[in-house]
């Protein structure tokens, strides 16, 4: 065994150990998305030789292919991903992950709701408050994809009315607000010039005010992607020039996520500039 193969074997052992922990589907999906962004084809190939029937391998491969396709702007192997998702679902029937990747593929293919909603039902049947599944469905229902603002709002209203306090999909309303703001910013004419007025509306005031007063409290958010949601909160609070924006930046600390800061340029530069602005004002 050469050194390269030995290192890959070590990587696979570490990944398998990580994924063999308690079945917290939300946290496992967070790990899968992080790993999928970094995994190499050689690691996938060696793992498939070691564990050809591993549900985790199939799911990681599917996630990686979906992310790569989105980076390219097209899915060249959509059918292969779909087959892998169904295979992983058979091997690990309790896991909402394969159905969530499948939903992501159907989003990119702009499939009809009659094909998409049964997949959504499979997700929430396994985990009613599964963050990644909710965000995928929110994207599908957006005006930019296969839905409308009305459909998106109805989806979020229905979810938030029943959602337990601090559940993993806690940021749904913030993602809706972010979508409204970005649509305004990228519009021509007066709408684009007055994009910041979005934050003067009652919905924005209510959503931002509640999140800024509760989310930064120690222990309030405990789901795996809490820092990603806090980054969205900090971004929106900064652009809204909210008086309590500093709370969000303190909660984020030094853990900057590319989204949504990359919308305006280099994420680290954007975050650092805004953070300095708000933390030196108080």
Do 151 and 255 share a domain, yes or no? no
Q: What is the pLDDT of residue 21?
A: 65
23-39 mean pLDDT: 88
Do 138 and 15 share a domain, yes or no? yes
Q: Which residue has the higher pLDDT, 22 or 228?
A: 228
Q: Is the pLDDT of residue 267 over 90?
A: yes
> Mean pLDDT, the chain, as a whole number?
91
Domain that holds residue 195: 170-282
Do 181 and 147 share a domain, yes or no? no
Do 188 and 150 share a domain, yes or no? no
Q: Is the pLDDT of residue 244 over 80?
A: yes
CA gap 196, 214 in Å, rounded: 24
Summarised one tens digit per residue, pLDDT across range 134-162 is: 999 999 999 999 999 999 999 999 999 99
Percent of the chain with pLDDT over 90: 74
Do 265 and 187 share a domain, yes or no? yes
Summarised one tens digit per residue, pLDDT across range 180-236 is: 999 999 888 877 777 889 999 999 999 999 999 999 999 999 999 999 999 999 999
Q: What is the pLDDT of residue 3?
A: 35
Q: Is the pLDDT of residue 261 over 60?
A: yes
Domain count, the chain: 2
Q: Is the pLDDT of residue 23 over 80?
A: no
Domain-ending residue, one of 155, 185, 206: 155
CATH (domain of 78) = 1.25.40
**Residues 87, 97 contacting (CB under 8 angstroms):** no
């Amino acid at each position: 065994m050469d050194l390269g193969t030995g290192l890959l074997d070590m990587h696979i052992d570490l990944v398998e150990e990580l994924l063999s922990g308690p079945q917290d589907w939300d946290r496992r999906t967070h790990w899968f998305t992080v790993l999928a962004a970094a995994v190499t084809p050689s690691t996938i190939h060696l793992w498939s030789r070691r564990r050809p029937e591993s549900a985790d391998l199939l799911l990681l491969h599917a996630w990686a292919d979906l992310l790569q396709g989105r980076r390219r702007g097209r899915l060249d192997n959509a059918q292969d991903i779909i087959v892998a998702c169904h295979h992983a679902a058979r091997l690990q029937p309790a896991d909402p992950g394969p159905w969530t990747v499948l939903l992501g593929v159907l989003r990119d293919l702009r499939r009809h709701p009659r094909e998409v909603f049964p997949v959504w039902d499979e997700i929430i049947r396994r985990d009613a408050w599964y963050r990644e599944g909710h965000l995928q469905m929110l994207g599908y229902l957006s005006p930019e994809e296969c839905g409308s603002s009305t459909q998106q709002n109805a989806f979020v209203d229905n979810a938030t009315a029943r959602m337990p306090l601090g559940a993993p999909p806690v940021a749904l309303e913030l993602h809706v607000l972010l979508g409204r703001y970005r649509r305004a910013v990228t519009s021509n004419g007066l709408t684009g010039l007055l994009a910041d007025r979005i934050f003067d509306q009652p919905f924005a005031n209510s959503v931002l005010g509640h999140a800024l007063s509760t989310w930064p409290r120690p222990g309030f958010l405990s789901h795996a992607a809490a820092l990603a949601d806090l980054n969205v909160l900090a971004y929106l609070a900064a652009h809204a020039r909210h008086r309590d924006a500093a709370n969000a930046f303190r909660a984020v600390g030094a853990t900057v996520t590319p989204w949504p800061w990359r919308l305006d340029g280099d994420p680290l530069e954007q975050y650092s500039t805004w953070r300095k602005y708000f933390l030196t004002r108080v």
